[in-house]
Amino acid sequence: MEFIILLYGATMLYLCFLIWKLFDQKRDQECYILDYQLYKPSDERKLGTECCGRIIERNKHLGLNEYKFLLKAVVNSGIGEETYAPSNVIEGREAAPTLNDGVKEMEEFFRDSIAKLLASSGISPSEIDVLVVNVSMFSAVPSLTSRIINRYKMREDIKAYNLTGMGCSASLISLDIIKNVFKSQKNKFAVLVTSESLSPNWYNGNDRSMILANCLFRSGGCVILLTNKRSFKHRAMMRLKCLVRTHHGAREDAYSCCNQKEDEEGRLGFYLGKNLPKAATRAFVDNLRVLSPKVLPTRELLRFMVVSLFRKVREICSLKSSSGGSSKSNNKSPLNFKTGIEHFCLHTGGKAVIDGVGMSLDLCEYELEPARMTLHRFGNTSASSLWYVLGYMEAKKRLMKGDRVLMISFGAGFKCNSCMWEVMKDLRDRPNVWDECIDDYPPESLANPFMEKFGWINDVQEATNFKLHGFLK
């Protein structure tokens, strides 16, 4: 009898040990942000109204109709006058980019942001265990990861990942790689480097579906330091709670809606198709279907089930009582994401993207403000745009301990990725690239001066006698 009691006790103790071990291992699998640095290029690379006019004038393939299209696109883009372009575009060499232009653009970003990140965090390059770099439209040999490792003399056993072709959603894909490494390896530091190379990809033709990219994409980048060390939890800014990836590459229309290609004359650029909004909507809906149970409270999910059941019963009754007609479509999500999330970091793919996601999630102007202001100040910086939105929230002192932040990004392929962070401490008085201008945002008006300076183009009727060159002089 005593032996049975001892055996039973030992079994219970062993089960308790296994449960404790399971929870203890989970503590070593967390993903914390310790620091991040946003890139701010030099003022010489700013794209003001006059500079844009000179760049457009240099493109000899454009005519009056293309000028009118560009004017409408820029005026409605939501982008201001202080965004940044690559040096070769500012210098007038966008029609004949070189490999060195792309390398130089990336190395300027690396030298500035990675050095600042290591200095502010106090972490040595030799302590970095994982390095993930994502730059979609530029691939060099040696790789960009190798260039960083060489410059900062990182360890020989560092795990390096160099991602290309992932589009504007690449930073969350990189984050997913780091999260999975953290699950299998304890006490690691990781650096995530996200940017885009515009130097070799500035379009110099007249295809409208490819000219549009020149109006939206701008230079930028971000470097993030992450860890799963429990001893650094007290220093962490945010903790990753969940991450969801949706890929519609198997659908032909989604796959082909945006891609890097050459036009009929062989000029390289980035194509944005008319079916892009439809592809983005489908990917967004599928992503939210997986994300919502992970981030919303049980009461909201129960409310959704009851409301959905009630709507289906009402639709059945209405179909029986009426012989024809169709029900009105509603673009808003039936779920209230504000019950589980305080802040929304939206991809700054353009004014229409922000408006569309805001309408779907029923967000107010205050919640859309960080994305709109980021688009106005920095433009669409591709995969790094989410972090500029986060930087705006931090500069405005909106992020408090316990708050939850949802990031949503879209990318070629077609992909929609999202993740939710928990803020670990009040984030305030930490310098970032918004400091010099944060008091000026939001401005009274987001209208840019392009219509005021170039609106006369809409009054021109005779394309044969029209010259932009004379006006710019």
Q: What is the pLDDT of residues 12-34, one digit of tens each?
A: 776 766 666 565 556 668 999 99
Distance linking the first and last C-alpha atoms of the chain:
103
pLDDT tens digits, one per residue of 50-98? 888 889 888 888 888 888 888 888 888 889 889 999 999 999 999 899 9
Q: Which residues are catalytic?
A: 168, 247, 343, 347, 376, 380
Q: Which two tokens stand for residue 127?
A: 């302590």
Q: How confident is the model at residue 473 (pLDDT cuts 50, 70, 90)?
A: very low
User: What pLDDT sits at residue 471?
Assistant: 44
Map residue 38 onto helix, strand or coil.
Answer: strand
Does the predicted TM-score (pTM) go above 0.85?
yes
Share of the chain above pLDDT 70, in %: 91
Among 161, 219, 215, which Cα is nearest to 38's? Answer: 219
Nearest to 422 by CA among 32, 78, 123, 145: 32
Strand partners, 159: 130
Instruction: Point out the least confidently predicted range of 272-286, 397-411, 413-427.
Output: 272-286
The 10s digit of each residue's pLDDT in 209-234 is 999 899 899 999 999 999 999 999 99
CA dist 354 → 16, 35, 202, 237, 369 (Å): 49, 26, 24, 26, 10
pLDDT, position 26:
60
Position 463 scores a pLDDT of 62
For residue 57, give the H/E element and its range: helix 49-58
Sign of CA dihedral 433, 397, 298, 306: negative
Position 158 confidence tier, pLDDT thresholds 50, 70, 90: very high
Instruction: Return the pLDDT at 392.
Output: 97
Is a pLDDT exceeding 70 seen at residue 394?
A: yes
- Residue 470 pLDDT grade (very low, low, confident, very high; cuts 50, 70, 90): very low
Residue with tokens 């590459």: 249
Contact 33, 226 (CB under 8 A): yes
User: Is 449's pLDDT higher than 60?
Assistant: yes
All residues at 6 or more sequence positions from 286 whose CB lies less than 8 Å from its CB, including other chains = 246, 248, 416
Q: Count of alpha carbons within 13 Å of 153, Cβ hemisphere only? A: 1
Q: How far, in Å, CA of 406 to CA of 295, rounded?
A: 9
Supply the pLDDT for residue 77.
87
What are the backbone dihedrals phi and psi of residue 418, each rounded to the nearest 5 degrees, phi first? -145, 155
Integer Rg of the chain from CA: 25
pLDDT, tens only, 319-331: 666 655 444 456 6
Residue range 140-145: average pLDDT?
A: 93
Band (pLDDT 50/70/90 cuts) for residue 315 is: confident
Q: How far apart are alpha carbons 306 and 308 in whole angstroms?
A: 5
Angle at CA of residue 345, ends 341 and 349, nearest 5°:
140
Pairing relation of β-strands 130-135 and 159-163?
Answer: parallel
Asked if pLDDT for residue 279 goes beyond 70, the answer is: yes
Please give the pLDDT value at position 104. Answer: 94
Q: Which architecture does CATH list for 29-300+336-462?
A: 3-Layer(aba) Sandwich (3.40)
Task: Please report which helix (H) or strand (E) contains residue 352, including its range.
Answer: helix 351-360
d(CA 346, CA 240): 17
Domain boundaries, the chain: 29-300+336-462
Closest by CA to 367, choosing from 335, 389, 395, is 389
Q: What is the mean pLDDT of residues 170-187?
A: 95
At residue 60, the pLDDT reads 87
Q: How far apart are CA 397 and CA 468, in angstroms?
A: 45
pLDDT for residue 7 is more than 80: no
| Amino acid present at 77 | S
Over residues 164-171, mean pLDDT: 92
- pLDDT at residue 420, as a whole number: 97
- Which residue has better confidence, 108 or 9? 108
Note the pLDDT of residue 308.
Answer: 81
Q: How far is CA 14 from the centre of its chain?
A: 46
d(CA 330, CA 248): 23
Residue matched to tokens 């401005």: 443
